[in-house]
């Protein structure tokens, strides 16, 4: 890999319920196509020698096993919603494999909420004989943050009323859980060639882009290639992709994207 090359392993592409959903017998939830099976949203990015996990989904362990992820240098959190954080305890394996604590980056508000959701992991006074994740919380204050000599650019996004973060690594950007990008976000996405963007379904939703809005937004950003994520069971993979231009397609679990 060259210095500016990015390799992305798409761990999960499903909305908060996952696809199939519990107790749903629709065509997508009962589909035989493995690309219609969507675990909760997460990716691993390899860039400039660092392996960065974005979010800790409820299926983190299964995702790492399926994609042979056995090392992670840091975790980046987009926001604190349960479908993006509740797999946090599985980070214990990376502590053990890497023999060190794992830095976790996110907005101050995101990290505060995660601390409250996992008191046993962060309370230094709490005595336990069980193992717990060894994490250092690193609040992101500005438009960029550094892990060693790897500098990552944040992208401000809105998920309904809630500010959340996208992340940019060279010519690649990951923007899940959003339905609005403020002007500053578009500025930071200028020149991105490959994009992963939220596209929940075709019907409107108060906190996620619809497929149509995602197509327009990807065009506005000018990405040569856009992949969509955080899909509900309304979007069958093969049929939806056949209806879309080849440079704007639904992503799928296990997809590897090289930029
Ligand atoms: Zn989500
Ligand atoms: Zn369904
Ligand atoms: Zn969310």
User: How far is the centre of ligand 1, averaged over its atoms, from the C-alpha of 90 (Å)?
Assistant: 18
User: pTM surpassing 0.95?
Assistant: yes
Domain span at 209: 6-258
Residue 68: inside a domain, yes or no? yes
Residue 159: inside a domain, yes or no? yes
Write down the pLDDT at residue 193: 97
User: How far is the centre of ligand 3, averaged over its atoms, from the C-alpha of 2 (Å)?
Assistant: 33
Residue 64: inside a domain, yes or no? yes
Query: Is the model more confident about 185 or about 1?
Result: 185
Residue 1: inside a domain, yes or no? no
d(C-alpha 135, C-alpha 84), whole Å: 16
Write down the pLDDT at residue 117: 97
Residue 145: inside a domain, yes or no? yes
Q: Which CATH number is 96's domain given? A: 3.60.15.10
Q: Which residues sit with Cβ closer than 5 angstroms to ligand 2, an ion?
A: 24, 26, 29, 233
Write down the pLDDT at residue 126: 79
Residue 177: inside a domain, yes or no? yes
User: How far is the centre of ligand 1, averaged over its atoms, from the C-alpha of 177 (Å)?
Assistant: 5
- Tens digit of pLDDT for each residue in 35-89? 999 999 999 999 999 999 999 999 999 999 999 999 999 999 999 999 999 999 9
Structural domain count, the chain = 1
């Amino acid at each position: 890999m060259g210095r500016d090359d990015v390799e992305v392993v798409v761990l999960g592409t499903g909305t908060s319920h996952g696809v199939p959903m519990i107790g749903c017998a629709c065509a997508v939830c009962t589909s035989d196509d493995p690309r219609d099976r969507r675990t909760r949203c997460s990716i691993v990015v390899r860039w400039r020698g660092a392996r960065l996990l974005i979010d800790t989904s409820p299926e983190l362990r299964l995702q790492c096993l399926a994609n042979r992820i056995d090392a992670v240098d840091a975790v980046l959190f987009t926001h604190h919603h349960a479908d993006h954080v509740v797999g946090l305890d599985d980070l214990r394996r990376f502590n053990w494999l890497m023999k060190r604590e794992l830095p976790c980056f996110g907005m101050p508000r995101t990290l505060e909420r995660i601390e409250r959701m996992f008191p046993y992991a962060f309370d230094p006074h709490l005595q336990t004989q069980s193992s717990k994740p060894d994490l250092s919380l690193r609040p992101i204050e500005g438009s960029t943050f550094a892990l060693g000599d790897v500098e990552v650019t944040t992208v401000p996004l809105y998920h309904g009323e809630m500010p959340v973060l996208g992340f940019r690594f060279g010519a690649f950007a990951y923007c899940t859980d959003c339905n609005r990008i403020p002007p500053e976000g578009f500025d930071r996405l200028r020149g991105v060639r490959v994009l992963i963007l939220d596209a929940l379904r075709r019907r409107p939703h108060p906190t996620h882009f619809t497929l149509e809005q995602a197509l327009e937004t990807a065009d506005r950003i000018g990405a040569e290639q856009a992949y969509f994520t955080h899909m509900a069971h309304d979007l069958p993979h093969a049929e939806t992709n056949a209806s879309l231009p080849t440079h704007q397609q639904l992503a799928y679990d296990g997809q590897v994207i090289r930029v």
